[in-house]
Structure 1
Amino acid sequence: MTYPTAGRAWQAMRSLVLEQHDRRAEVCQALDMSFIKVKALYKLARGPMTMRELTDALATDKPYTTLVVDYLEDRGLVERTRHPEDRRSKIVTITAKGAAEAEKANAILGAPPAPLLALPEEDLAELDRILAKLAGD
């Protein structure tokens, strides 16, 4: 069964966020790092993670996650410590400096684009209602 209207709406949403108003390049330039490193900071801002959890969250492999964490650690954005219950495991925790950078990234990525801001309030309210319904709220 096909749903042409739903397909058009989905394509429009994808295009809007991932093509027309993609802020990844802007955030990478502002933080002077690749987007996967920004993504790691964003994930770690929610709370400490083991290297394995971070690898899964980033959908990367272990060696690449290690390179990402090495870079972030060298810049003073995260700290790696031994897991208290598993000596073979490391926990990665964001630092205050890293949290500030994650917040800067979140502000850039979360800023609504001009066409959205130009919509009338009633359209924004309707869009908000629909998106909340899609998200299951």
Structure 2
Amino acid sequence: MTERTPTPPTDPLTVEVVELIATVVARYHEEYEEAAGKHALTGAQARVLALLSREAMPMRRIAQQLKCEPSNVTGIVDRLETRGLVERRPDPDDRRVKLAAATEEGRETSARLRASLNFAREPLAGLSEQERTTLRDLLRRMLD
């Protein structure tokens, strides 16, 4: 006897929730791309810079985080490095590995970009702290 995976619900409420999530994601990406453009960055460059502003990491890990090929990351890091936003340095734990890291200018650029993203902050400001906590907890459950 084989186990069957449960069929996801397709009731009208579930369909509406899925559509609302898709709309939120689309609006976020649209604003993110626009904000990146104001800093002369592509969306992909801005995402890499945001990752590297938190911590230095090897190209392979950046690719895993962004779910793309390491060769794509190399080109993105090359362009960010040319602009002085990212630098490559040896990994202190394994000198054969190079880490990409945001420079001070890169961290400042990433912080300015993040501060300019109002799409999510404005609607969330209309929710109470308890509502935001509930939303956060529900989103975490969905991602687990």
C-alpha contact (below 8 Å) 1:26/1:108 kept by paired residues: no
| Equivalent residue letter for 2:114 | N
Q: TM-score normalised to the size of structure 2?
A: 0.77
Partner of 1:116: 123
Partner of 2:23: 15
C-alpha contact (below 8 Å) 1:23/1:108 kept by paired residues: no
Q: TM-score normalised to the size of structure 1?
A: 0.80
Report deviation, 1:78. Answer: 0.9
Q: Runs of 5+ in structure 1 lacking a partner? A: none
SS in 2 for 1:81: strand
Q: Runs of 5+ in structure 2 lacking a partner? A: 1-6
CA deviation vs aligned residue, 1:61-118 (integer Å, no higher than 9, x gap): 1221111111111111111012233333111111110001111121123x1469727x
2:55 pairs with 1:47: yes
Q: Which whole-Å CA distance do the structure 1 matches of 2:59 and 2:69 have between them?
A: 10
Using the aligned pairs only, state the percent identity.
26
Partner of 1:66: 74
Report deviation, 1:46. Answer: 1.1
Give the counterpart of 2:134 among 120, 130, 133.
130
Which deviates the most, 72-81 or 18-27?
18-27
Q: How many residue pairs get matched? A: 132
CA deviation vs aligned residue, 1:18-60 (integer Å, no higher than 9, x gap): 1488302321221111100000001111111112111211222
| Equivalent residue letter for 1:128 | R
CA RMSD, 1 decimal: 2.6
Partner of 2:3: none
SS in 1 for 2:26: helix
Which deviates the most, 9-18 or 65-74?
9-18
SS in 1 for 2:116: helix
